Structure 1
Amino acid sequence: MRDMVRRVVRCAVGLMWGAAAAVVELLCTVLAGLLLLLVVAWPRGRRAVLRPVLAGARGLTELERARLRIWLGVHTSPVYEDTQALGYLACRWALGVLGAVVMLSAAVGLGYGTSWTYLWLLVDDVRNTAAVVYTSLAGLFLLFLTLQGILGVAELEGKLARRLLGPRHQEELERRIAELSASRAAVVDAVNDERRRIERDLHDGVQQRLVALGMLLGRALRSEDPDRADRLLRQAHEESRQALDDLREVAWRIYPTTLDEAGLRAALETVAERASVPVRVEYGLTGEPERAVATVAYFVVCEAVTNAVKHAAPTRIVVAVGSEEGALHVRVEDDGRGGANASGSGLFGLARRVAALDGRLEVRSPPGGPTLVTAELPCA
């Protein structure tokens, strides 16, 4: 319920901004049409007029794309032609007017729906009680209809933007083929990078421990002093325990068994417990996501927390996992020093993991902090 109210409020704000933008878009469309009509038979003049007109159309369209993304949650392709932008603005202003009508109707419905409160508070003697009740009920009904209209207009906004600003079918197929080829190559690179990391961890950690263990046992066997041999055996026992811990750490980083046995929430709580700084996990999923999605979400959190602890010196880390409109959202924020390099090996590998599922990874880490890592993964 709270998510629905938040969505309606965000869509309402987006439609109000859209209504204001519709006035500018209508004026620009009419002005562009008049200018082009004046030079329609003059090729050189048409080119001279068309250049600033298309540049202005692209600027307004970029503002529209930002409004759709921030307030309506609609993501559109950044690859579109200037003529597409002009055509979009020529159609979009009508939806802006429709949004203004819906918002005005919502205000009227809210006013009539709450009229009984200020009538009974301000008027000493309300003579026609039935009329007040009927008016309030009619206002509440109108408010209910307009709330549905807000969501409907927001949906139309998204469909119009995707239809007019999206790539053509052939271009979309070519783009998709290129993305699949790139993601396939990225998966192969990620697997190879993971193998190299495992080999490095085994060589620098477990292997060195085992070499030291063998040397300690050899010295203990050659020692003729029982006390010295006992000390060496105790050191060997401690070294074997640390080697076992290192081996468990390597195995845990490859793939945590908790993810299969207890689910994503338990795996994230394990990450929080193992971190050396306080980590708060806000888990908002009601069900368990698909295995591939859960695995990528886990590694996003694990890598982001590990990077923050290693490089940012934070005092707290907040991990939030939720779902909205068919996508799983992961958010990791720390209050460290910032300056994280999104092209570094760890975060770049995460970006390839996320891209393999048609998801998006974004890293915002200004110098001085805070650092915010967000991932959006398609999820049924």
Structure 2
Amino acid sequence: MAGAAGVGGVLWRSVGVFLGCVAACAGVVWLAVAGVVLGPFLLWPRTRAGARAALVAGARRIAGLERRRRTVFFRDRFPLHYVPQDMTVLRYVATRAYAGTVTAVTLALFGFGMVLAGVFTAALVRGRVGVGELLWQVLLGGALLFLGVQGLRSLYALDARLARDTFGPSERELLRQRIDELATSRAAVVHAVDTERRRIERDLHDGLQQRLVALAMLLGRARRPGRTAEQSAALLAQAHEEAQDVLTELREVAWRVYPSALDGPGLREALGGVAERSPVPLRLEYGLDRPLPRPVETAAYFVVSEAVTNAAKHAQATSVQVRLTMAAGVLTISVQDDGCGGADPHGTGLAGLRGRVEALDGRLRVDSPPAGPTTITAELPCA
């Protein structure tokens, strides 16, 4: 069954190649007739536009037949709404006219060679061919057969490449591009997660750990014998204040890892927490009227949080404006500050955000001229 299907596929594609030769001959005829009839009008400026339109119209009809041939006989799938430019269509028809004519000539030579092979075989059976002539004919025929097969393979590949370049990438090419994009985004996500983990480890080691050591030292000093009640009370007050600072910093680290508000009230509440903790005034415009998918909410939160942090730390901003809108199933996040600008789109922080956004098939754009302001725009599909 599989072998029969394979033979049937070869025959079906062979019909497609033959029809390609016919279409190429039609292209040759069209170019020749159009060159003779429309040539004078193409040279005259007043009639050039009309003659060019007629030439392109005929070329588009031939290209449409070629596209249908590639779809029916070779299973190519091209973008439905893609319309090639006029010069691209003319170049395709001219190239296909040449390549298809060469293919037709090569196939004709193959047919002629088969006839000669039949005549030679009949002469061999009748004993009219000697051994030397047999070896010479076999050697020559084998070389010509090899060159002909290689030529047909090259012309077959050229036909596919011309169609792909003219009518857009096929589904196989689109799938290959998609695989490459997913591999790139996966690597970016792994890098972003590793960077985030290192940052959390640094915050815990350099921040919380040092504060806990200081808290333990204060409590130890308060427990030493010989302390008066006033000294112990003062040390305990310092320890209590230090414990509150530790809780505050621990809460900040936890929010940077994952905001608990996303599990409850949602993204709007989580962004409200970002506004409360922001060291610069933040104005939030939340234009969403329905809940978002959880991965989109998480990515949106980190885009806003990281952009606001960068504006406060590096841009010397005095105000930040955050706007969230939804259109055609795409969430658009815009974070603009009035800082000094000059943000590096390939920096560590923005590269991590780009990895998060692209992992969801989104896009991140950074507009940061040297004099400011800086605008970070993220687009996240919610389908």
- Quickly name the TM-score band, shorter chain normalised: 0.5 to 0.7
Paired residue secondary structure (1:200):
helix
Of 208, 214, 217, 1:215 maps to 217
- Call closer, same or farther: CA 1:273–1:173 in 2, change over 3 Å: same
Check the 8 A contact 1:314/1:334 in 2, yes or no: yes
Aligned residue pair count: 238
Q: Give the residue type in structure 1 aligned to 2:370.
A: P
Check the 8 A contact 1:85/1:165 in 2, yes or no: no
Check the 8 A contact 2:270/2:301 in 1, yes or no: yes
Paired residue secondary structure (1:312):
coil
Task: For 2:206 and 2:179, locate their aligned partners in 1 and report how far apart those are by CA, in whole Å.
Answer: 40
Paired residue secondary structure (2:349):
helix
Corresponding residue for residue 176 of structure 2: 174
Check the 8 A contact 1:186/1:352 in 2, yes or no: yes
> What's the offset of the Cα at 1:170?
2.2
Check the 8 A contact 1:358/1:378 in 2, yes or no: yes
> What's the offset of the Cα at 1:168?
2.7
1:268 pairs with 2:271:
yes
> What's the offset of the Cα at 1:327?
0.8
Q: Give the residue type in structure 2 aligned to 1:315.
A: T
- Call closer, same or farther: CA 1:343–1:89 in 2, change over 3 Å: farther
Task: For 1:28 and 1:324, locate their aligned partners in 2 and report how far apart those are by CA, in whole Å.
Answer: 42
Corresponding residue for residue 375 of structure 1: 378
> What's the offset of the Cα at 1:223?
4.7
Of 189, 192, 195, 1:190 maps to 192
Of 203, 206, 212, 2:205 maps to 203
1:277 pairs with 2:277:
no
Check the 8 A contact 2:306/2:349 in 1, yes or no: yes
- Call closer, same or farther: CA 1:164–1:262 in 2, change over 3 Å: farther
- Call closer, same or farther: CA 1:364–1:286 in 2, change over 3 Å: same
Corresponding residue for residue 30 of structure 1: 52
> What's the offset of the Cα at 1:353?
0.2
Task: For 1:85 and 1:331, locate their aligned partners in 2 and report how far apart those are by CA, in whole Å.
Answer: 38
Corresponding residue for residue 288 of structure 1: 291
- Call closer, same or farther: CA 1:210–1:367 in 2, change over 3 Å: same
> What's the offset of the Cα at 1:317?
1.1
Task: For 2:168 and 2:359, locate their aligned partners in 1 and report how far apart those are by CA, in whole Å.
Answer: 22
Check the 8 A contact 2:189/2:352 in 1, yes or no: no
> What's the offset of the Cα at 1:204?
1.1
Q: Give the residue type in structure 2 aligned to 1:343.
A: H
What does residue range 1-380 of structure 1 map to in structure 2 within 5 Å?
A: 30=52, 86-87=87-88, 166-226=168-228, 227-380=230-383
> What's the offset of the Cα at 1:248?
0.7
The alignment-based identity, stated in percent, is: 57
> What's the offset of the Cα at 1:202?
0.6
With normalisation by structure 2, the TM-score equals 0.57
> What's the offset of the Cα at 1:281?
1.0
Check the 8 A contact 2:343/2:368 in 1, yes or no: yes
Larger radius of gyration: 2
1:136-184 CA-partner distances (Å, limit 9, x unpaired): xxxxxxxxxxxxxxxxxxxxxxxxxxx9674332221111111111122
> What's the offset of the Cα at 1:243?
0.7
Q: Give the residue type in structure 1 aligned to 2:272.
A: E
1:195-223 CA-partner distances (Å, limit 9, x unpaired): 11111111111111001111111222225
Paired residue secondary structure (1:167):
coil
Q: Give the residue type in structure 2 aligned to 1:375.
A: A
* Gaps in structure 2 of 5+ consecutive residues: 1-47, 60-78, 92-164
Q: Give the residue type in structure 2 aligned to 1:271.
A: V
Paired residue secondary structure (2:280):
coil
* Gaps in structure 1 of 5+ consecutive residues: 1-25, 38-76, 91-162
Q: Give the residue type in structure 2 aligned to 1:87.
A: T
- Call closer, same or farther: CA 1:187–1:28 in 2, change over 3 Å: farther
RMSD (Å) for aligned C-alpha atoms: 3.0
1:111-146 CA-partner distances (Å, limit 9, x unpaired): xxxxxxxxxxxxxxxxxxxxxxxxxxxxxxxxxxxx
With normalisation by structure 1, the TM-score equals 0.58
